[in-house]
Amino acid sequence: MLAESLALSAVLFTIGAVGVLTRRNAIIIFMCVELMLNAVNLSFVALSKVYGMAGQVFVVFVMTVAAAEAAVGLAIIIAIFRHKQTVNLENINLLKG
């Protein structure tokens, strides 16, 4: 079971990472980030079978943080949309040097 779980986790993580790197829509990138977090959660849970309960405790923490992050992140995206009328990141480059 462990090997399969970790493989699934790796696949999910890679999908998430590729999504973050290639997509331009902020919402989708946001969802990909969540995907990466949950991929990590999966490996935590899987590995807790081997290393003890600490992994499961961590998962609870990660989910809590992810929930908070979702709230803040979505709020930011809404604020950006109100300001720019778009959530396409190619049009958002305020930090350009």
Partner 1 sequence: MLLQEATAGAHPLSGSIAEWVWLIPLLPFIGFLINGWLAMTAASHVGPKDPSAAGHGAGHAHDHGHADSGGGHGDDHHPVARHKYAALVSIIGPTVLVLSFGLTVAIFMAMLGVDREAPFIRTLFSWIPAGELEIDAALQVDPLSMVMTLVVTGVGTLIHLFSVGYMRDDPGYPRYFAYLNLFVSFMLVLVLGASYPVMFVGWEGVGLCSYLLIGFWFSDKANADAGKKAFIVNRIGDFGFLIAMFLMFGNLGALDFVGLAAAAPGLGFNSALVTTICLFLFLGCAGKSAQIPLYVWLPDAMAGPTPVSALIHAATMVTAGVYLIARSAFLFSLAPAAQLTVAFIGALTALFAATIGLKQWDIKRVLAYSTVSQLGYMFVGVGVGAYTAGVFHLVTHAFFKALLFLGSGSVIFAMHRAYHATHNHDDAQDMRNMGGLRRYMPVTFVLMWIATLAIAGIPLFAGFFSKDEILTSVFARAHESTLAQISWLGIPGTTLLYAIYAMGLAAALLTAIYMTRMMLYTFHGPNRSGEREQSHLAEAPWIMTGPLVVLGVLSAFGGWLNLPPVLPLGPVQLLEHWLEPVVGPATAAVTGGAAHLEHNTEYMLIGVAVVIAIVGMAVAFARLKPQRLVPKAQAPDEQGFERVLREKYFVDELYDRTIVRPTVWASRNVLSTGVDQGIIDKLLVTWVGAGIPRLFGWFGSRLQSGQVGTYAWVLLIGVIAVLGAFTFR
Residues at the contact surface with partner 1, assessed by CB under 8 A: 17, 20-21, 24, 29, 89-90, 92-97
Distance of CA 91 to the CA centre of its chain: 22
- How many residues make up the chain in this entry? 97
Q: Which is nearer to partner 1, 16 or 42 (CB)?
A: 16
Helix 54-84 to helix 26-51 angle, to the nearest 10 degrees? 180
To the nearest whole angstrom, how small is the minimum distance from the Cβ of residue 37 to partner 1? 15
- Please identify, using beta-carbon distances, which residue of 6 and 17 lies nearer to partner 1: 17
Q: What's the closest the beta carbon of residue 23 comes to partner 1, in angstroms?
A: 9
- Only one residue has tokens 């040097």, namely 97
- Taking the complex as a whole, how short is the minimal distance between the CB of residue 40 and partner 1, in angstroms? 14
Judged by CB, which is closer to partner 1: 52, or 81?
81
The span from the CA of 92 to the CA of 97, in Å, is: 13
Beta bridge partners of 88: 25
